[in-house]
Structure 1
Amino acid sequence: MHSASPMRKVFQGVPDRRQMFRMFDRHAQRPNRWKDDAGELYIGEWFEISERDHDHMFEILPPLWMRGDMFAMREFLTGSVTSVFFALTIDGEIRHFHGYCDLSDKPSPDRMRAAIVDRESRPVKAMTRTERLEHIWSATHDDYRGYAGERWPEDMRGKRTITVYGGSRGTTLKLLDDLTDEEISAKLPVHLRYLPDAIAA
């Protein structure tokens, strides 16, 4: 029996190829990188990609499998977790996406497809607080993001941290989840700052 991981959009817009490859391993800085199974960090993450990058990934290696509007990468990220790529018709337009699915949970690619179509079919472009935080994490350079270590209280260790600029107060390190609305707005690109809040599905 598998517990369904939440499907979550981790980047707003279409990244360029450099950003895409960087987001394939968004959690590279995690503690104990080589000692733990990080599948739970990745399962359910998805973002849009360009048609060119979708086709590029298809040509790298023969897919593990192809099924209608999706294919799975032959190389696994960890355990039974691998990249699944989608070419989906949404509002009459073909768009392309990447997501991480646990293939030991056979329905997971279909659940991801449904989640993507549902999220991207909404008539008003909006972002939840979680989507805003995930976009900030995806877009921030490794030098300015990390994980709470031994200097943090024990209950905070291992949580994601990010550098915040405080004007005359200089920079501080905060937990990503503790950013205020003002700090979130300051870290988003201008075209995303004023999108309405979306109600989480």
Structure 2
Amino acid sequence: MTPSSAIRKIFQGVADRHQMFRMFDRHAQRRNRFDVDASTLYAGEWFEITEREHDYMFEILPPLWIRGSMFAMREFLTGSITSVFFALRIDGAIRHFHGYCDLSDGRSVEEMRLAIIEREARPARAMTREERLEHIWSATADAYRGYSDESALQDLPGDRLVTLFSAAGLARTKLLHDLTDTEIAAKLPIHLRHLPDAAAAA
């Protein structure tokens, strides 16, 4: 199942430049990429970046606008969706984030800012099941993830698929949202496998 336009964290940790650029278009393999409006795929996605990457993006092109500690990219990804970069003080430290906001909605940028602060100000590190799945999708190489099509009768076209490997090295694909807790743990890096569950995440 493809993600909704709800505000959601899609990567755990701080993305480096390579990871950042991969996540800018993490739905590049979608069906009918250039024929279907993908606004709902991207709107609401956010992740943390370094100060260096934040400043690098600021210097690429003149921003569309600057509002305090936020700026928006002049080039739109799709429809009215564009990158907004944030420098936010959380627990006394300045941290940097990228989010996709729908600028046709005048509330989207402020809602994104508040959601990031709320999510990252939690006293204990925790991940929801959805955050675990989104991290797996973001971190999986293109060769091992994809989308179902009309030939997969048991799946809906556009459902996200990931490749799993057995102990014997045999590969099979499975719907991302159908992964078991054991399969999720196996796909996550070691430092994320045993974080506590969170009841909700923005």
- Short-chain TM bin: over 0.9
Aligned to 2:109: 109
Question: Whose relative contact order is higher, 1 or 2, with alpha carbons under 8 Å and at least 6 apart?
Answer: 2
How many residue pairs get aligned? The number is 198
Q: Is the 8 A contact 2:8 2:46 kept in 1?
A: yes
Residue 96 of structure 2: aligned partner? 96
Contact 2:5 2:42 in 1 (8 A): no
| Distance in 1 of aligned mates of 2:99 and 2:90 | 17
Q: Is 2:157 the partner of 1:166? A: no
Using the alignment, how far apart are the partners of 1:33 and 1:14 within structure 2?
28
**SS of residue matched to 2:164:** strand
Distance in 2, matches of 1:125 and 1:153, equals: 39
Identity of aligned residues (%): 69
Q: Deviations over 1:147-198 (max 9, x none)?
A: 0122212652210000011223711100000000000000100000010001
Q: Distance in 1 between matches of 2:81 and 2:168?
A: 45
> In the alignment, which residue of structure 1 is the partner of 2:38?
38
1:83 match: 83
What pairs with 1:137-176 in structure 2 (closer than 5 Å)? 137-153=137-153, 155-168=155-168, 170-176=170-176
Q: 2:5–2:41: 8 Å Cα contact kept in structure 1?
A: no
State the shift of 1:69 in Å.
1.4
- The unaligned stretches of length 5 or more in structure 2 are none
Alignment RMSD (CA, Å): 1.3
In the alignment, structure 1 residue 22 sits paired with structure 2 residue 22:
yes
Letter aligned with residue 54 of structure 2 = H
**Separation of aligned partners in 2, 1:165 and 1:117:** 37
Within 2, Cα distance between the matches of 1:200 and 1:27? 24
Distance 2:169 2:20 in 1: 34
